[in-house]
A and B are shown apart, each in its own frame.
Chain A
């Protein structure tokens, strides 16, 4: 499989926890950015031909106006045969998705939407800087379904400032009742250089305690299982038949194209990223083309294990041994304690985390990291 990720680094308003490449921009700046993005697409048109999935993320892709969205879809169609695509996902904020916009997206070829819901609690949404409210979420879901779009995902976060366990329970119950086909449910990561971190350091906001966050995670696992969702990756849950096609490309360490400011890609034996600033990306792409990409290390064994263990399907160890210089036996005894702790199982040839293991994935990955360091020393 070959994926293609396109980054739209624009937002109407900045959420306080986000440290992605994004900014608030006017129409001319967005147009200039699209020009650079289209130029980059033209430079790799041969590779784009083989794309299996497209994922447009952000930022907020729906921060583009309808004309700009149409331009973008037209450009994609130039290089990618939409009929051959397995999936075409676009991220959107609920407050942007009026029926007209939904129509533009469907006409442009989008087959799956990922909605940045995060929470349904008014106070929490307000604190973290989201612009929608609970009613808008229900409305959008209704509108999507009446427009014939049944494949969509919602993002839900826990461990947010001011969020309580009852709030999270109410959110999940409402979304489960709506039979949302796919949910990404993940704990907040407090990133450096974000307004949230600043506010917490100054004592203006407080995060739920480690214990409450633990209770939240426990609840999510139990509730989603009971509702019949497959927990197929650490933070991803799907009703049967609705797993994402694009995201597992990262987790299986398969190749993907990255396009746009801050986007990452992995092609051949190389990983690369783009300049994060819109200005720098736009200027350097137009003047230097693909020379402006920043290349970095690709470590197939390491990356296959580290990303693969995120999935309930785990990693096929014997395949990895066949294709790479890797001897599982050398790391096995180091991992033994995690088998004993019930975090990890090896059902030859598949190594995978248990449900408990997914809560403590870093413990396992750290041991694995040490073991790999030792075996290459």
Chain B
């Protein structure tokens, strides 16, 4: 391809993403676009094609990004669309911002019955930051509860976007998809970029292929990339030789080169996922770009928990599973950890609670390893009396109170959108969870956006569940890191049968400690089955017991009657008890079930 041909080709390219709240119809719309442009035949069409992991399809969320090239003829002109999928959850804000950076435009899909949600808003702001052309799309207009005019008004009021030409669609029913195609062609600008400048390609995702290594998904901004090029990652400084470039259609298709505006993948036998950080810029070794593309950040995990194999012989398989997951997910970090109660396991860092749940579920499901996870913790900055500062992400490791001069905890900026009827409830909840009020905006007559500074500890604990229950499920939440702040936190230890159970230690605000301790000990009493002897369960701060419950001794455990020669029934009952026992950890002399270790997570306040 000569320069003129490349420039002509760039004119026909449209790169866009779809922004939507969970369940507002993003994946369904993506499927319809693939269908109408004949990118996949009906036969290949699996519902929600872009969400390829089972977990994604089940949960109806997008975890890993995908990018698809779509060729489309419109009024005699050929167009190349690149649809770049984004994850729709608060834990993955950075990934969203990078995939938006690979686009010139975005479809903002809003559910005609639900209206704008906090996360949608957060992602639209990311799109504004990236100077994208935004096309509002009103979806689910076929629902009886749809209120198109209200939603249009909200979009104009809140986002100052013109909705006069907004496509009104039903992705499920296939209504209005052609309007969207027209808007993509007319309203989203073609990419800019200089094919003759040194290569600059944005890495917005990567995936791992067991035979070909880590494969980054890239958007070419300047220059050309082709087989044989020696490329360099500008942040990680890793150098590799390109063995293949291609695009997803959605099947992988090898192409001779990728030019400005193109979205595709590059295979370079990359073994280490650390070398291919999302947001980094690829250039060539010999003709290096002067400046990397803006916006690269190293992600820090926000939430930590201990992950232990239920069966201690699964330690090595668990290690292997974490390594394999990491190949696809650079934000996952882990290191070995030992617990007196749980044995050998790992302390794992996550971007947020959803990330944590997804990883746990994938280990259990894809690797078939039974897990025991401790209550999540955040990362504390602890200044000791000798003025040295340590970072603590495992409550069990918090030094004695006497050695601590100050503890700082991470605080998030939490944005909550709620119908105005629940504003009172939501604010009360936020106050109770140590939130500090920042501001409140009325988006329209009925919806309100409230902003608080909120300790991440409280968000991790049960804030989201409580928010949902205090707003009948209507309120939505978005949060991002704000700052660290000094706080009066204490370590709450739990002792079972006189033995401190490190895996049950939590860090709590001093004001909540007594109540929390009482609730945990009561709950543990209900969760732990009776033993052959009486078991005291105590909560303590710095060795001082603040709450206690007593698990009474078991009275009997026997299959009383043995029915007329039917031995199999008795065997089954015993086998069942045996399996139950296997799923327990022995702490001291007490068999503690898995649920007990999560009990500290959800106590009804």
Tell which of B530, B565, B577 touches A264, judged by Cβ atoms closer than 8 Å: B565
Whether, in the assembled complex, B182 has its beta carbon less than 8 Å from a beta carbon of chain A, the answer is: no
Asked if residues A264 and B566 are in contact (CB atoms below 8 Å), the reply is yes
Asked if residues B565 and A186 are in contact (CB atoms below 8 Å), the reply is no
In the docked arrangement, what's the CA distance between A323 and B350, Å? 59
Tell which of B530, B532, B563, B570 touches A306, judged by Cβ atoms closer than 8 Å: B570
Asked if residues A361 and B567 are in contact (CB atoms below 8 Å), the reply is no
Asked if residues B581 and A359 are in contact (CB atoms below 8 Å), the reply is no
CB distance from B359 to the nearest CB of A (A): 32
Asked if residues A366 and B581 are in contact (CB atoms below 8 Å), the reply is yes
In the complex, what residue of chain A is closest to B556 when comparing beta carbons?
A359
Asked whether A362 and B532 contact (CB < 8 A) given A5-B564, A296-B568, the answer is no
Whether, in the assembled complex, B472 has its beta carbon less than 8 Å from a beta carbon of chain A, the answer is: no
Considering only residues 274-298 of chain A, those with a C-beta below 8 Å from chain B are 296
A-side interface mostly = mixed
Tell which of B565, B571, B574, B575 touches A250, judged by Cβ atoms closer than 8 Å: B565
**How many chain-A residues does the 8 Å CB contact rule pick out?**
45
Considering only residues 201-259 of chain A, those with a C-beta below 8 Å from chain B are 210-211, 213-215, 217, 234-235, 250-251, 256, 258
Whether, in the assembled complex, A162 has its beta carbon less than 8 Å from a beta carbon of chain B, the answer is: no
In the docked arrangement, what's the CA distance between A116 and B355, Å? 59
Asked if residues B560 and A234 are in contact (CB atoms below 8 Å), the reply is yes
Asked whether A362 and B561 contact (CB < 8 A) given A187-B556, A213-B555, the answer is no
- What are the interface flags for A360-374 relative to B under an 8 Å C-beta threshold, 1 for contact and 0 otherwise? 111101100110000
Whether, in the assembled complex, B5 has its beta carbon less than 8 Å from a beta carbon of chain A, the answer is: no
Whether, in the assembled complex, B554 has its beta carbon less than 8 Å from a beta carbon of chain A, the answer is: yes
- What are the interface flags for B536-571 relative to A under an 8 Å C-beta threshold, 1 for contact and 0 otherwise? 000000000000000010111111111111111011
Asked if residues A264 and B567 are in contact (CB atoms below 8 Å), the reply is yes
Whether, in the assembled complex, B578 has its beta carbon less than 8 Å from a beta carbon of chain A, the answer is: yes
In the complex, what residue of chain B is closest to A159 when comparing beta carbons?
B560
Asked if residues A186 and B570 are in contact (CB atoms below 8 Å), the reply is no
CB distance from B563 to the nearest CB of A (A): 7
Asked if residues B564 and A307 are in contact (CB atoms below 8 Å), the reply is no
**How many chain-B residues does the 8 Å CB contact rule pick out?**
25
Asked if residues B560 and A186 are in contact (CB atoms below 8 Å), the reply is yes
In the complex, what residue of chain A is closest to B554 when comparing beta carbons?
A360
In the docked arrangement, what's the CA distance between A160 and B556, Å? 16
Tell which of B555, B566, B574, B578 touches A273, judged by Cβ atoms closer than 8 Å: B566
Asked if residues B559 and A362 are in contact (CB atoms below 8 Å), the reply is yes
Asked if residues B574 and A362 are in contact (CB atoms below 8 Å), the reply is yes
Considering only residues 336-377 of chain A, those with a C-beta below 8 Å from chain B are 341, 358-363, 365-366, 369-370
Asked if residues B564 and A361 are in contact (CB atoms below 8 Å), the reply is no
For A358, what are the chain B residues with a Cβ–Cβ distance below 8 Å?
558
Asked if residues A360 and B557 are in contact (CB atoms below 8 Å), the reply is yes
B-side interface mostly = loop
For A271, what are the chain B residues with a Cβ–Cβ distance below 8 Å?
567-568
CB distance from A274 to the nearest CB of B (A): 11
In the docked arrangement, what's the CA distance between A134 and B520, Å? 48
Whether, in the assembled complex, A138 has its beta carbon less than 8 Å from a beta carbon of chain B, the answer is: no
For B559, what are the chain A residues with a Cβ–Cβ distance below 8 Å?
189, 361-362
Asked if residues A250 and B562 are in contact (CB atoms below 8 Å), the reply is yes
Whether, in the assembled complex, A34 has its beta carbon less than 8 Å from a beta carbon of chain B, the answer is: no
Whether, in the assembled complex, A22 has its beta carbon less than 8 Å from a beta carbon of chain B, the answer is: no
Whether, in the assembled complex, A263 has its beta carbon less than 8 Å from a beta carbon of chain B, the answer is: yes
Asked if residues B578 and A234 are in contact (CB atoms below 8 Å), the reply is no
Asked whether A360 and B558 contact (CB < 8 A) given A210-B530, A369-B574, A369-B578, the answer is yes
Asked if residues A214 and B555 are in contact (CB atoms below 8 Å), the reply is yes
- What are the interface flags for B259-290 relative to A under an 8 Å C-beta threshold, 1 for contact and 0 otherwise? 00000000000000000000000000000000
CB distance from B588 to the nearest CB of A (A): 14
For B532, what are the chain A residues with a Cβ–Cβ distance below 8 Å?
341, 360, 363
In the complex, what residue of chain A is closest to B589 when comparing beta carbons?
A337
Asked whether A370 and B578 contact (CB < 8 A) given A359-B558, A360-B558, the answer is yes
For B555, what are the chain A residues with a Cβ–Cβ distance below 8 Å?
210-211, 213-215, 217, 359
For A265, what are the chain B residues with a Cβ–Cβ distance below 8 Å?
565
For B557, what are the chain A residues with a Cβ–Cβ distance below 8 Å?
359-363
For A266, what are the chain B residues with a Cβ–Cβ distance below 8 Å?
565, 567
Asked if residues B578 and A310 are in contact (CB atoms below 8 Å), the reply is no
CB distance from A300 to the nearest CB of B (A): 12
For B575, what are the chain A residues with a Cβ–Cβ distance below 8 Å?
369
For A251, what are the chain B residues with a Cβ–Cβ distance below 8 Å?
562
- What are the interface flags for B566-605 relative to A under an 8 Å C-beta threshold, 1 for contact and 0 otherwise? 1110110011011001000000000000000000000000
- What are the interface flags for B316-349 relative to A under an 8 Å C-beta threshold, 1 for contact and 0 otherwise? 0000000000000000000000000000000000
Asked if residues A307 and B554 are in contact (CB atoms below 8 Å), the reply is no
Asked if residues B561 and A186 are in contact (CB atoms below 8 Å), the reply is yes
In the complex, what residue of chain B is closest to A57 when comparing beta carbons?
B564
CB distance from A221 to the nearest CB of B (A): 10
In the docked arrangement, what's the CA distance between A362 and B571, Å? 11
Whether, in the assembled complex, A184 has its beta carbon less than 8 Å from a beta carbon of chain B, the answer is: yes
Asked whether A264 and B564 contact (CB < 8 A) given A306-B570, A360-B532, A365-B574, the answer is yes
In the docked arrangement, what's the CA distance between A28 and B554, Å? 50
In the complex, what residue of chain A is closest to B563 when comparing beta carbons?
A20
Asked if residues B565 and A235 are in contact (CB atoms below 8 Å), the reply is no
CB distance from A185 to the nearest CB of B (A): 9
Asked if residues A366 and B577 are in contact (CB atoms below 8 Å), the reply is yes
In the docked arrangement, what's the CA distance between A285 and B403, Å? 80
Whether, in the assembled complex, A55 has its beta carbon less than 8 Å from a beta carbon of chain B, the answer is: yes
Listed in ascending order, the chain B residues whose CB lies under 8 Å from chain A are 530, 532, 552, 554-568, 570-571, 574-575, 577-578, 581
Residue contacts A-B, CB under 8 angstroms, 12 given:
A7-B564, A189-B560, A210-B555, A215-B555, A235-B560, A235-B561, A250-B562, A250-B567, A306-B571, A359-B558, A360-B532, A362-B558
20 additional A-B pairs beyond A362-B557, A362-B559, beta carbons within 8 Å, are: A3-B565, A55-B564, A57-B564, A184-B561, A210-B530, A210-B554, A211-B555, A214-B555, A250-B567, A264-B567, A264-B568, A265-B565, A271-B567, A307-B562, A360-B557, A361-B557, A362-B558, A363-B532, A366-B574, A366-B578
A-B CB proximity, top 10 nearest: A214-B555, A186-B560, A361-B558, A362-B557, A359-B556, A187-B560, A264-B565, A186-B561, A264-B566, A250-B565
